[in-house]
Chain A
């Protein structure tokens, strides 16, 4: 363990201070260590009071998102050695209120997620005797990309529109709405439309495109939103020009 690197970690202790400050720690930097390993080292060996979230340490749970040198990153998938010789600045995810140190409140996203009904909505269930709902690989391909979202919220942290207007539904929620809208087993597109077509829904997006750049799962939320805008525009054109019920 020869190499070491300095981590500048944002601290916010609400019972003591009203602004964030930075604490600096030196941690080992073997080539297979990620930023999260550095934080765990701090917590275990140097300063047990540091608060942050993590769980799977393998890019699945989506809980370890933080701002690393100004960029939203999954800290379990961001290697310390890539920032050598350092220092590395670790801050909480942007655009969310900070509860303590690196922990942000994600309630806003959770409430928005429920609004878009992220589950398969059926008008009528078919009888059990008819067997399962089948899907071809092509039908799966239509939405598979959007289903890879791990709710890490890096896209919200990268989105200046969400930062400026927290009412905006935001990238992941819209991508997840599309995940179900484009699923051939789902009948919920109409029910989701009300939320999506609000001013704070898809039309809030001005296509900065950074959500897609930072997404660790290649979900392409910006693409999902533009795609939905296009189909919503086509739909409204149709209802304008075609007779009712066509």
Chain B
């Protein structure tokens, strides 16, 4: 078996099947994949937004008030709602994938996938509760 293809008079005339530019619309799973890939843009936006928030907070009360007013603008609000939905989609699909990528052993036995998944959600819940507590206690 040689590398590459040697064309001889007797080489079969292959039919190359083309992939359509819209292949990602062919199956719901492909579309979900493309949306998950696209979600990284929104994740990046949230990072930028967070940095802007930090910058506003460090800029004093006036800067913070201005930031809040800007955030309440319809386009920014809409962008943030859409970003939030994408980030949740990203997180959920990421967690769903975790049991496939992580094989955890306790002693000799392999931890079943749904427990690995449950562990991820538990960690998410714990962090959320912690953040909520931080916010509530800061009031």
Contact = CB atoms under 8 A, between A and B. Distances in A.
Interface of A: 12, 14-15, 18-20, 70, 92, 94-100, 105, 107, 110-111, 114, 138, 141, 160, 163-164, 206-210, 212-213, 220, 222-223, 226-227, 229-230
Contacts of A222: 100
Contacts, number: 72
Nearest to B29: A210
Contacts of A220: 100
Contact of A226 (B23, B97, B110): B97
Given A92-B17, A160-B30, A114 B24 contact: no
Interface of B: 1, 3, 5, 12-17, 19, 23-24, 26-27, 29-30, 33, 37, 97, 100-103, 108, 110
Contact of A213 (B15, B29, B37, B108): B29
Contact of B15 (A97, A107, A210, A223): A97
Given A14-B12, A99-B14, A70 B26 contact: yes
Contacts of A226: 97, 100-101
Nearest to A224: B100
B15 A160 contact: no
A209 B23 contact: no
What is the interface of chain B mostly: helix, strand, loop, or mixed?
loop
Nearest to A14: B13
A208 B12 contact: no
Contact of B101 (A18, A70, A97, A227): A227
B1 A208 contact: no
Q: Which 8 A-B pairs rank lowest in CB-CB distance, beginning with the nearest? A: A226-B101, A97-B14, A223-B100, A14-B13, A98-B15, A163-B19, A208-B33, A99-B12
B36 to A, nearest CB: 8
Contacts of B110: 141
A208 B15 contact: no
B53 to A, nearest CB: 31
Contacts of B23: 160, 163
Given A18-B15, A212-B100, A227-B102, 14 more contacts: A14-B13, A95-B19, A96-B17, A98-B15, A98-B17, A141-B110, A163-B19, A206-B37, A209-B29, A210-B27, A213-B29, A226-B100, A227-B103, A230-B101
A62 B102 CA distance: 29
Contacts of A19: 15
Given A92-B17, A227-B103, A138 B108 contact: yes
